[in-house]
Structures are given as structure tokens and as C-alpha cells.
């Protein structure tokens, strides 16, 4: 029987969820996000591929790492030092599938670190076929006055500059058939007034994706983005006020947030040969909110 999308994941209110200190940890979430641990079944679509995933410690990044591993890929994940606990859990999941898992902590706002990540992937995985630019920084504010220049800069350097740095470094190493996938957001098309800086970066990323898809086509490298709607990850209770976090997802037609495992298949498609004619595209995973 088909799965009813209205009840495929928990529905708010999430009254037991407590506020988390950024960046938040998966184990402190209630309900706990579903990354596909018991549900995702691979079919060899990425057999022998090597993937670098930023923000691979939790949320969408963890679900993508697990799905890629079950499809046959080895994985390097990048993360911040304070996310080490979640990162280790992700690496354990990948290793349990018999695939290589490399974890590299550090700050992707720095170009040198981004270049190091690609070098590590080449050295320790034997190459790089897939780059997933997933790591993101966001903070919620009710007033423009609350957003400092320092925070605005951090948001752009984490979300946009790092994507540019990593894509530039990875494209030098990728063979034809390589795939770059950027995590944008529903905010790229429908900016939330409390997420001004974050939403602006996602619009920039969507534009960057389109430009890079054209620039890299002659190398046989595809570039696409996935635009999730409200997805239940540690970012939510650690960056939104607690009332918003507890009611998160009720605003979309399906009346619930998506789970990370519900986003991962879009990344698998774009990374695999089944997506060989898809480049410069945005795949929306939004719980029924139209992005047209």
C-alpha cells in the first residue's frame, strides 16, 4: 500500500521539545529525526562513488550520507568541532554499511580548509565524484536591527562562500559524470521575514547553481540544488524560538515537517546516472508548497 504523506512523519505540536543551544544535537530532539536508519533501501545506484558532504553530522547531511552509503558510495563528511558527537554517529552508520567513512572537523568559511577537504577526499577515498554543499548557518530575528554585520558575514561565508570554494576545488578533481548538489531552501523563493540573512544566501545559492551548471557542462559535471521545505533537524529547535519549533511544519499543506529521510532520495537521484540530463535544476521537497 502507498504511504499516506500526511502521516508519514510526526505532526506538530512537539510539546516535549526543549530549546537547544546552537548548533543542537540529534539526541536532544523530541521527536528524534528519521534519517532512514530502518527504512532506506539502496539499489547500487552509487556503487564505487566517492562523496564529500558538508554538514554531514546530522539532519539532511546525515540522511544523505546514509543513503549514499547504502547505494554503494564511500563518504567524507565535514563538520564543526562542536558537532563531533553527531558526526561520529553518522560515520558509524556509514561504516555499518561496509563503506569508508572519513570525518574532518573544521570551519568551511576558510578557503584553505575547503581545499583541504577536497584533498582529503582524493587521498583517503581515492577521488571525488560527488560534492554535497549542505552545511548552513541561520539565526532567527524579529527585527533587522538585531542582525549584526558579523552575523550577516558569517551566514554568507558559511552558506555561499564555502559552496564556491568547495565547488571550485572539487571541479578540478572530478571526472566527467561528477555531480555537485547544493542544499538551498524554500526560502530561496519564499523568504521568511525572520530569516533575512539565511534566505538571502539561499537565493544566492540557487543563482550560483544555475551559473555553475553552465560553466561546468563542458567538463561533464552536473550542478543542481535541492530546496527543502520545513525539515525536522537540530537547526530548528536551536535557532527558532521554542513556540515556533514546537509548531514547526504545520504551515505547509501536509501539516507536518518533513523528515531528513524524505529529502535524501532527491540527492541520490541528482548524484546518480539516472539524473544524467538534469543540470541547473532545483528539486523542491516542500510538503506541498509550490515553487513555480
- Which active-site residues does the annotation give? 198
Phi, psi of 164 (to 5 degrees): -65, -50
DSSP structural state of residue 246: H
Residues 6+ apart with CB under 8 A from 123: none
Rounded CA gap, 193 and 158, in Å?
A: 20
Burial of 152 (0-12, 13-18, 19+ CB in 10 A): middle
Whose grid coordinates read 543513503? 67
| Residue 271: its H or E element | helix 260-271
Name the nearest CA neighbour of 235 among 20, 11, 56: 20
> Angle, to 10 degrees, between the axis of helix 260-271 and the axis of helix 59-70?
50
Q: What is the DSSP letter of 33?
A: P
Angle between helices 162-173 and 111-125 (to 10 degrees): 30
**Residues counted in the chain:** 292
**Strand, helix or coil for residue 162:** helix
| Closest by Cα among 265, 251, 256, 284 to 9 | 256
Amino acid at each position: 500500500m502507498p504511504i499516506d504523506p500526511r502521516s508519514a512523519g510526526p505532526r506538530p505540536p512537539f510539546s516535549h521539545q526543549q530549546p537547544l543551544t546552537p548548533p543542537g544535537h540529534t539526541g536532544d530532539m523530541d521527536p528524534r529525526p528519521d534519517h532512514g536508519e530502518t527504512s532506506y533501501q539502496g539499489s547500487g545506484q552509487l556503487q564505487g562513488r566517492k562523496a564529500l558532504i558538508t554538514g554531514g553530522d546530522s539532519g539532511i547531511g546525515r540522511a544523505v550520507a546514509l543513503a549514499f552509503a547504502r547505494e554503494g558510495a564511500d563518504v567524507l563528511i565535514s563538520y564543526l568541532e562542536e558537532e563531533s558527537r553527531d558526526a561520529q554517529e553518522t560515520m558509524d552508520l556509514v561504516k555499518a554499511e561496509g563503506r569508508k567513512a572519513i570525518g574532518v572537523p573544521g570551519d568551511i568559511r576558510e578557503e584553505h580548509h575547503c581545499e583541504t577537504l577536497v584533498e582529503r577526499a582524493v587521498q583517503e577515498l581515492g577521488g571525488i565524484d560527488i560534492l554535497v554543499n549542505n552545511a548552513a548557518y541561520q539565526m532567527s530575528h524579529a527585527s533587522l536591527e538585531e542582525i549584526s554585520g558579523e552575523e550577516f558575514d558569517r551566514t554568507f561565508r558559511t552558506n555561499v562562500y564555502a559552496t564556491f570554494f568547495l565547488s571550485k576545488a572539487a571541479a578540478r578533481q572530478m571526472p566527467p559524470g561528477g555531480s555537485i548538489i547544493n542544499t538551498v531552501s524554500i526560502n530561496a523563493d519564499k523568504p521568511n521575514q525572520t530569516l533575512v540573512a539565511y534566505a538571502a544566501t539561499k537565493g544566492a545559492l540557487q543563482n550560483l547553481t544555475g551559473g555553475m551548471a553552465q560553466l561546468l557542462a563542458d567538463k561533464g559535471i552536473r550542478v543542481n540544488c535541492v530546496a527543502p521545505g520545513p525539515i525536522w533537524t537540530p537547526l530548528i529547535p536551536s535557532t527558532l524560538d521554542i513556540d515556533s519549533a514546537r509548531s514547526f511544519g504545520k504551515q505547509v499543506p501536509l501539516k507536518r515537517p518533513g523528515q531528513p529521510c524524505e529529502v535524501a532520495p532527491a540527492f541520490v537521484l541528482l548524484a546518480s546516472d539516472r539524473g544524467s540530463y538534469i543540470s541547473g535544476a532545483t528539486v523542491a521537497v516542500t510538503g506541498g508548497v509550490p515553487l513555480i
